[in-house]
């Protein structure tokens, strides 16, 4: 069928597909890293010439990456790998000081005595929760640096600072560190990735109670439903990920550590970030999981003491609502790093590390992104190739690898901080499930792109009833 996809990332409603075929294109000889000896035969060359274009959701042609991780690392200046404990600790103390100062000023000066107007106090305390959520997210990002050993050359210092900072935010540090490391090792792999793994066409159809061939014929979702799904994702996405591995893969019996027999995502499936018996971990990780739980227990005790002494409503405003803001930012950032109409996902037989790491996207969040979130939004592509480069060297390293990646480097930085919020809506509407480009053959069948029932971008493949 002809592509009515919208080129150059301009999203419009698509028209009804026709029965004509998608134009063919000569494929790159680097598309497959495992070519057979017969790949230079005349029949193979003809097959390459007849191969269907791979199309992302916008209708732009996609070529499988052909560079290597060595080329990426060699392009980065050596000094970008330097980690400074003093510099990293400065940012921790700076952010902690900001959190303490904001609390002190608001607690002492936004009172009935100083500000008699109740609506004014509500506005100022609401602003307090938002700003504390921003700096709390910054602390989370610094602990994330610790988890990747990008904080300093000392593993003991990294894990000590990471454990303290994450525990204060009710995050199980070592438990998260281990599962997050697996995410980095399998980014974009539909069978092994650990976060925001998209549904396949079959899974999505099953979820909404339809047959696979019906997906191209359904009416679009209402904006209210899209908004509701987004709200639920932002409110509950992070705790649900920790509790039941929502958005993570559900192939636990097939993982190399072999602890997933009989276990699956869900409330009683045994897959979570708190149990040493979870298939997310190996037996040798048990002490680290227990230490993570201890950090949460100690923080919980501290919060219980504060609530008992100063009032639960105060605790809600001082800590609870800022905590929800931190969760919101974590989910939003991670979702938009790995969910975009231009990004591919791979079946395990055609996945490799270089391909998966390129299936991420950089964005821009202005002053907050650069100076409070420590660049986690702006330099995420680099982070997936070399995760132990500290954030204060990441901009230079990102520029260095763009020449190697070429058009495989994806960014939406030109849309600015408003584009970040717009992308949440766009991705929610366009990115419902993944499937191969219609007519794809051979290895290309293992490269999947987002499709949707909202009439946006490339139509879903037509399937026989």
Q: Tens digits of per-residue pLDDT, 365-385?
A: 999 999 999 999 999 999 999
Instruction: Please state which of the ranges 27-31, 125-129, 259-263, 382-386 shows the lowest mean pLDDT.
Output: 27-31
Q: What are the two backbone dihedrals, phi and then psi, of residue 280, each rounded to the nearest 5 degrees?
A: -70, -15
Q: What is the pLDDT of residue 8?
A: 53
Q: Return the number of other C-beta atoms located less than 10 Å from residue 101's C-beta.
A: 11
Compute the mean pLDDT over every residue in the chain, rounded to the nearest whole number.
90
Q: What's the token pair of residue 61? A: 């042609």
Q: What is the pLDDT of residue 51?
A: 63
Can you tell me the distance from the alpha carbon of 423 to that of 341, in angstroms, rounded to the nearest whole number? Answer: 10
- Which spans in 349-464 are helix H? 353-358, 366-367, 380-385, 394-405, 416-430
Q: What is the pLDDT of residue 24?
A: 33
Q: Residue 82 pLDDT > 50, yes or no?
A: yes
Q: What is the pLDDT of residue 444?
A: 94
Q: Which residues contact 130 (CB under 8 A, 6 or more apart)?
A: 325
Q: What is the pLDDT of residue 9?
A: 55
Can you tell me the distance from the alpha carbon of 77 to that of 67, in angstroms, rounded to the nearest whole number? Answer: 18
pLDDT in tens, 250-267: 999 888 777 888 899 999
Can you tell me the distance from the alpha carbon of 387 to that of 400, in angstroms, rounded to the nearest whole number? Answer: 15
Can you tell me the distance from the alpha carbon of 79 to that of 84, in angstroms, rounded to the nearest whole number? Answer: 11
Most confident of 36-45, 87-96, 214-223: 87-96
What global pTM score does this model have? 0.88
User: Do residues 395 and 379 lie in contact, with contact meaning Cβ atoms separated by under 8 Å?
Assistant: yes
Instruction: Please state which of the ranges 129-138, 261-270, 319-328 shows the lowest mean pLDDT.
Output: 261-270
Q: Which residues contact 283 (CB under 8 A, 6 or more apart)?
A: 259, 276
Q: Which long-range contacts link 24-30 to residues 24+ away (Cβ below 8 Å)?
A: 24/49, 24/50, 24/51, 24/52, 24/53, 25/51, 25/53, 25/61, 27/51, 27/63, 28/63, 28/64, 28/66, 30/64, 30/66
pLDDT in tens, 96-124: 999 999 999 999 999 999 999 999 999 99
Tell me the chain's radius of gyration from C-alpha atoms.
24
∠ Cα 137 239 200 (to 5°)? 105
* Residue 452 Rama label (left phi>0; alpha psi -120 to 50; beta): beta
Q: Which residues contact 257 (CB under 8 A, 6 or more apart)?
A: 279, 281, 282
> Mean pLDDT, to the nearest integer, of 286-310?
98
Query: How many residues comprise the chain?
Result: 465
Q: What is the pLDDT of residue 41?
A: 40
Q: What is the pLDDT of residue 50?
A: 47
Question: For 58, how many CA atoms within 13 A lie in the half-sphere containing its CB?
Answer: 15
- For the chain, the domains span 77-243+289-338+349-423
Q: What is the pLDDT of residue 36?
A: 32
Confidence band for 42, pLDDT divided at 50, 70 and 90: very low
């Amino acid at each position: 069928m002809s592509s009515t996809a919208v080129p150059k990332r301009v999203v419009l409603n698509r028209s009804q597909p026709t029965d004509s075929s998608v134009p063919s294109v000569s494929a790159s000889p680097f598309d497959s890293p495992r070519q057979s000896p017969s790949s230079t035969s005349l029949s193979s060359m003809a097959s390459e010439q007849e191969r269907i274009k791979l199309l992302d959701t916008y209708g732009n042609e996609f070529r499988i990456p052909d560079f290597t991780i060595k080329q990426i690392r060699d392009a980065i200046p050596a000094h970008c790998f330097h980690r400074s404990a003093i510099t990293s600790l400065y940012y921790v103390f700076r952010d902690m000081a900001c959190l303490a100062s904001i609390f002190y000023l608001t607690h002492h000066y936004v009172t009935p005595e100083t500000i008699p107007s109740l609506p004014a106090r509500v506005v100022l305390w609401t602003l307090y929760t938002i700003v504390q959520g921003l700096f709390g997210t910054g602390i989370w990002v610094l602990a994330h640096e610790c988890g990747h050993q990008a904080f300093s050359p000392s593993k003991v210092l990294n894990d000590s600072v990471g454990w303290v900072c994450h525990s204060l935010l009710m995050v199980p540090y070592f438990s998260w560190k281990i599962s997050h490391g697996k995410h980095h090792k399998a980014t974009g792999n539909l069978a092994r990735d650990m976060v925001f793994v998209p549904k396949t066409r079959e899974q999505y159809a099953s979820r909404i109670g339809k047959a696979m061939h019906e997906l191209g014929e359904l009416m679009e979702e209402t904006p209210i439903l899209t908004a509701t799904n987004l709200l639920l994702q932002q409110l509950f996405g992070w705790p649900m990920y920790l509790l039941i591995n929502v958005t993570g893969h559900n192939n636990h019996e097939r993982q190399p550590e072999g602890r997933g027999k009989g276990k699956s995502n869900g409330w009683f499936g045994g897959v979570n970030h708190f149990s040493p018996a979870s298939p997310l971990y190996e037996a040798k990780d048990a002490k680290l999981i227990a230490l993570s739980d201890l950090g949460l227990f100690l923080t919980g005790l501290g919060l219980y003491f504060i609530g008992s002494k100063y009032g639960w409503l105060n605790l809600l405003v001082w800590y609870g609502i800022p905590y929800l803001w931190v969760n919101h930012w974590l989910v939003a950032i991670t979702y938009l790093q790995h969910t975009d109409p231009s990004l591919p996902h791979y079946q395990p037989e055609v996945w490799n590390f270089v391909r998966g790491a390129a299936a991420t996207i950089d964005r821009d969040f202005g002053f907050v992104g650069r100076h409070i979130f420590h660049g986690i939004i702006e330099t995420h592509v680099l982070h997936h190739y070399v995760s132990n480069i500290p954030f204060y060297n990441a901009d230079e390293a990102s520029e260095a690898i763009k020449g190697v990646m070429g058009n495989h480097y994806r960014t939406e930085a030109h849309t600015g901080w408003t584009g970040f919020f717009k992308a949440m809506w766009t991705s929610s509407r366009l990115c419902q499930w993944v499937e191969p480009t219609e007519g794809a053959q051979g290895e290309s069948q293992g490269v999947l792109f987002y499709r949707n029932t909202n009439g946006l971008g490339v139509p879903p493949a037509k399937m026989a009833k």
